[in-house]
Amino acid sequence: MSTKDKYLEAIQRADAKDAARAAKKDRAQKRATLRAQASAPAQASVQSSPSLQSDQDVLASVPATAPQEEESQTKKMCLCHKEQNRLMDSHGCCKATIDAIRFSSRMPADVDLDDVARVQALVDSGIIKRAKTKGELAAQRESRGTASALKEVANAPAGGKPVVIQPKADLPEGVNFFDVNQARHLAKCILLRGMNFAAGVSDAYPKLSAYEAGVVAEAAQRDANIRAALEQEASQRGLGDSDKQVYVSLLWKHALSQRPQDYQDRGTAMRILGRVFLPENGAQQKQPTVLQIEGFSEGIARMFPNGELEKHQSQPVTMPDLSESDFGAEDGE
């Protein structure tokens, strides 16, 4: 059911109640009139025989319609719903019409035709102020501050400085942003998570529920202590050994992740680690370097000017046949 249908249904219920009240009032007036008419002959007989009149009869003969007639004279009916006999609330309109103008800035659809122009002029004039929205009411409550802050203002000394009202977030037990160590730890976790406050809070406080972690993350985004800790921790990040260890640990964390949604991070981390542990030049065999001798070819050309080197290279090299007598002759010498 939409808001408009709920509003129309509420108006119908209010109209039905007003009609029931008007009918009840009419019945009461008719009964009072009948009682007055019935008591008129009795009053005449009492006047003719004053000896039989008593105090109780005199009280009973007083008509009971006087207060009701006075009440009906003091109460005024609205001009926007004459046939429904609604009581006037303000500006000549009933309460249902005033509420419709306050909440929707429109007049109801069932306004009498002869009063449409007056009600529309009333709406356009802005005399009836528009009701505040939920957001405006929430902002007003925040501007007033919490009960504890108001108590501090009430208990403040008369001659002292005024107490500034600062509404505090309702953090879970054990979470304190004013603690320097907690603020730095939370800032590190948020930085390691790529400035993701929700994930950083889950890493810093793993025992918190999902709702409590969301409350802490929302408060951390607006807290000045956490902002200062984030700036301090971000300025310390460099190329030191500790930062390299953090980077490698993150790579291993993504590479060993088993979650299906981390398949892209897992592949990227594996490629980076593969370049470190399996370099591309490691699988290839290293070729021996060629030693270049300066002036070698010119020297050979001077030694063999007629091309004798090529003849020697083309002839096969043979070893002479040796016997034992050749070695014996050498030993005897």
Contact assessment for residue 206 and residue 186, using Cβ atoms and an 8 Å cutoff: no
pLDDT band at 109 (very low <50, low <70, confident <90, very high): confident
16 has a pLDDT exceeding 80: yes
Q: How confident is the model at residue 2 (pLDDT cuts 50, 70, 90)?
A: confident
pLDDT of 112 above 70? yes
Residue 119 burial (CB count, 10 A): 22
Query: What per-residue confidence (pLDDT) applies to 66?
Result: 47
Is pLDDT above 80 for 272?
Answer: yes
φ and ψ at residue 77, rounded to 5 degrees: -90, 150
Residue 52: per-residue pLDDT: 43
Inside any domain, residue 239: yes
Classified as helix, coil or strand, 82 is: coil
Say if 208 falls within a structural domain: yes
d(CA 304, CA 145): 107
Torsion angles phi and psi, residue 120, rounded to 5: -65, -40
Give rounded-to-5 percent helix, strand, coil for the chain. Answer: 65, 0, 35
Q: Which residue has the higher pLDDT, 158 or 313?
A: 313
Q: State the pLDDT at residue 318.
A: 66
Q: Per the domain annotation, does 327 fall within a domain?
A: no
Does the residue 233 lie in any domain?
A: yes
Least confidently predicted of 84-98, 110-124, 149-163, 196-210: 149-163
The tens digit of pLDDT for each residue in 74-93 reads 678 888 888 888 888 888 88
Rounded to whole angstroms, the Cα distance separating 62 from 40 reads 10
Give the number of domains in the chain: 1
Flag the least confident range among 44-58, 165-179, 230-244, 246-260: 44-58
CA 225/CA 201 separation, integer angstroms: 15
Q: How many residues does the chain have?
A: 333
Six-digit token string for 219: 């408060």
3-state secondary structure of 284: coil
In a domain, 209, yes or no: yes
Domain membership of residue 318 (yes or no) is no
Q: How many Å apart are CA 54 and CA 57, to the nearest integer?
A: 5
Residue 200's domain spans which residues? 180-280
Q: Which amino acid is at 233?
A: E
Torsion of CA 53, 54, 55, 61, to 10 degrees: -40
pLDDT, residue 59, reads 44
Q: Tokens for 264?
A: 């892209």
Closest to 171 in 3D by CA, of 243, 225, 132, 115: 225
Average pLDDT over every residue of 247-275: 85
- What confidence tens digit (pLDDT) does each residue in 29-64 have? 888 888 888 776 655 554 554 444 444 454 455 454
The C-alpha atoms of residue 119 and residue 91 are separated, in whole angstroms, by 9
Flag whether 139 is in a domain.
no
| Residue indicated by tokens 């897992």 | 266
What does the alpha-carbon distance between residue 180 and residue 219 come to, in Å, rounded to a whole number?
16
> Can you point out the beta strands (E) in 254-313?
none
Q: What average pLDDT does the segment 173-185 reach?
A: 86
* Structural domain includes residue 240: yes
Q: Tell which wins on pLDDT, 47 or 252.
A: 252
